[in-house]
Amino acid sequence: MSTAHCPVLLIAAPASGQGKTTVACALARLHARQGRKVRVFKCGPDFLDPYWLTLASGAPVHQLDLWMTGEADCRQRLHDAALDADLIIVEGVMGLFDGEPSAADLAQRFNLPVLAVIDAGSMAGTFGALAWGLQHYRDGLRFAGVLANRVASPGHALMLQDSLREPAQWMGAMMRSAAVTLPERHLGLVMDHELGDALQRLDAAADALADTPLGQMTAEALQAWAVTFESDPAAGEKFPADALRGQTIAVARDAAFCFLYAANIDCLQAMGAELVYFSPLADSELPACDALWLPGGYPELHADTLSANHAMKASLINHVQAGKPVWAECGGMMTLFDQLVSTSGAIHAMWGVLPGRVTMQQRLAALGPQQLELAGGVLRGHTFHYSTCATALPVASRTQAAPGRTLRGEGEALYQSGSVRASYFHAWFASCPAATAQLFLKDSDD
């Protein structure tokens, strides 16, 4: 058993869309520019925020979730980060008390100080009531303070500050500014590499935060938020080191296939796999490989390009006809069907590996933590998509709700056709490495 000690701040909010990511990025960028080592984590399943948090901190960003990744994984990652970091930032998910488990659950489990970010653009005295409620709604929550976001003016900021019952909780105000806004679309934030001014936006946010009490805290002052983490290496996840030894897995990675957990990459490599990356948008064929992973992403935004890449389609079909494994998640699965129908009704021919079509919708089709039972064990993960699928393929199995949760309707279908397995389900590989290995091994059974 070993211990590590480091200042930590969990950045939460009363709801989604309050500016948690902007503030987390600003704080990370501000301290990284000052030469400090900053490690950032994202609470809950999220593929998009970590792109921005990685750019801001200059270090890989992993997920923390008491169910999906597990308490032992959370503890070990926090401990390891605390060994050499000057500051750890954890960005919450949704509202502070939303979800099972919630960001508040994570904060209480590890005694993490909580900073509440509140979009105060349309409020005055109610700001104080909301801050008081977030601090005192649950006993035992370690509260670091509150920061007002999207504030109209210095005068408005004074009104907000005066509304607090505990003046020491005031961590400042971020003024409303298009320069620090991180653009969004239907699945969340636009990725940083899609914008030519991503780093400039983060620098602008860091500059704005530098004018607040939060941004002006010294390294010594941050020690007020220090947390001690314990580690028990014997309790850590045991990866079967040779499960994928000698296997080369081709991983789709570009603007259309970008929903990749860093921990999933680590898991495959820990089991001995060699990973090679390719772009279905730009490349004409698969790299030499034994198995293929098509992660989620935005195929609907690049449907014309994907449809026109006939050489890649032929290469992928050859891979399937050779009986080589394919694991396709959400957006990866969408491209395997015959057609993709956009929200405007435009029909795009896809790769035709699986019969049927997927249709984009304006409204969310499914969201939430789920698990998938395979012969090798149970994989934890989640689902989040705006499309629906119509296919004649039989359903090999379905996901189940996470313990303590209830599904609305049926779980996500797992389709199997020859060596192809596909589902809307996003898997957290480390939750069951043995089951994960089966997804990428030829002739493995469900």
Among candidate residues 144, 133, 291, 153, the one with its CA nearest the CA of residue 222: 144
Cα–Cα distance, 132 to 126 (Å, whole number): 10
Q: Which residues of 233-392 form beta strands (DSSP E)?
A: 248-252, 257-259, 274-278, 291-294, 296-297, 326-329, 337-341, 347-349, 354-360, 366-374, 377-385, 387-390
Amino acid at 296: G
**DSSP per residue over 422-435, as a string?**
EESPEEEGGG-HHH
How many CB atoms lie under 10 A from the CB of residue 403? 10
Indicate the SS3 state at residue 113: coil
> Contact 266/102 with Cβ under 8 angstroms?
no
> Contact 13/116 with Cβ under 8 angstroms?
yes
> Contact 387/300 with Cβ under 8 angstroms?
yes
- Residues with catalytic annotation? 330
Cα–Cα distance, 361 to 139 (Å, whole number): 41
The partner residues of 251 in beta bridges, in order of sequence, read 277, 293
As given in the structure block, the two tokens for residue 96 are 């502070």
Place of tokens 């990749």: 260
Cα–Cα distance, 18 to 94 (Å, whole number): 9
Cα–Cα distance, 89 to 57 (Å, whole number): 10
